[in-house]
Amino acid sequence: MNNPQIKNTIERLQNADVLYRRIVALSENYFENDDIGEMESFKREAELLLQGVSGNDTVIGIFNHHTYCPVLEVGAKEFWGNLPEVPQQERMRQLLGLLEKQYSSFTTDSVKWFTETLTAIPFEQRINLQIFHCGIRYRLLNDKPICLFSKGLPLHYDEKRNFSFTFNYVQNVAHLLKKDFPYYWVRVSHGANSEFVHVLHSQNNEYTHKDLLSTREKQILQLIADDYDTKEIAEQLFISATTVGHHRSNMIEKIGARDSTALVQIAKMAGMI
């Protein structure tokens, strides 16, 4: 489990979580009527905070869900390459233009699902919302293929616990996913202990309240993360080694991970273990 590249992936996400809390604290000084007042001043202060996590394989920023435009991006040039300058309202169209052809329906399918999912969440459960995307493939102008993982967290809730802005962390995880994995998945968790989950997996394109991994699979994966071998896991859970191997294969297949090590890291990043 001591792969330096994978370790760096996890550390950057952990650092981003720390910055998220700082951005939330900063935004509290700027929100007026559920919108960000003095936007330019806010962007300058937020950009200074966000510089610490940016890199060639990471872009972080703030996204406006009403206008469907990024308010702020840090590390975008290093991540996306030298794209032509476009007005802010055209930015998402530009980025989505880099999607691999087989992902052309990703935007409409995922936005429709996400909107319906949010609408259905009761008021009392609208806390601690976390939004994860994984497996969306792009091809940069220099012909480099990348595969994205993203985590989105609301910055501010209104009195009805709706939100307009999210803090977004996006990373290239091509090193964690199988090159031939043709799907993407979206996972939304919420509730005081992230106990409520909604999932969209493009393999079947169906809405489900079931998590990507079952309770038993999470138990096995946590033991893998704790460096238990197959025999030890089988003894710990009173199941056969064959069953452990079957569950491991199923998890790798669903998540799209390259191997068990990558599976553990993706599951940690997406809040599943």
pLDDT digits (tens, 9 = 90+) for 10-58: 787 888 899 999 999 999 999 988 899 899 999 999 998 887 665 678 9
Residue 150 has pLDDT above 80, yes or no: yes
What is the enclosing helix (H) or strand (E) of 70? strand 69-74
Q: Is the pLDDT confidence value at 179 over 90?
A: yes
pLDDT score of 227 more than 70 = yes
**How many angstroms separate the Cα of 147 from the Cα of each of 71, 212, 248?**
23, 19, 22
Domains of the chain and any CATH numbers: 4-210 (3.30.450), 213-273 (1.10.10.10)
Identify the pLDDT of residue 9: 78
CB 123 within 8 A of CB 140: no
pTM, two decimals, is 0.93
pLDDT of residue 206: 79
State the residue for tokens 């967290």.
153
Q: How distant, in Å, are the alpha carbons of 200, 213, 259, 263 from that of 254?
A: 12, 8, 12, 10
Residue 73 or residue 13, greater confidence: 73
pLDDT at 1 over 60: no
Q: For residues 113 and 207, what is the distance between their CA atoms, to the nearest angstrom?
A: 8
pLDDT of 161 over the 70 cut: yes
Residue 261 has pLDDT above 90, yes or no: yes
Mean pLDDT computed over 95-101: 97
Q: What is the mean predicted confidence (pLDDT) over 204-209?
A: 86
pLDDT tens digits for 106-148?
999 999 999 999 999 999 999 999 999 999 999 999 999 999 9
End-to-end CA distance of the chain: 15
**pLDDT at position 56:** 79
Question: Among the listed ranges 23-32, 173-182, 217-226, which one has the minimum average pLDDT value?
Answer: 23-32
The confidence score (pLDDT) of residue 54 equals: 59
Give me 120's structure tokens.
């259905």
| Sign, Cα dihedral of 216, 218, 223, 229 | positive
What confidence score (pLDDT) does residue 5 get?
67
> What confidence score (pLDDT) does residue 4 get?
66
The string over 118-150, giving b where at least 16 C-beta atoms fall within 10 Å of a residue's C-beta and e elsewhere, is beebeeeebeebbbbbbbbbbeeeeeeebbbbb
Is the model's pLDDT at 78 over the cut of 70? yes
Please give the pLDDT value at position 7.
66
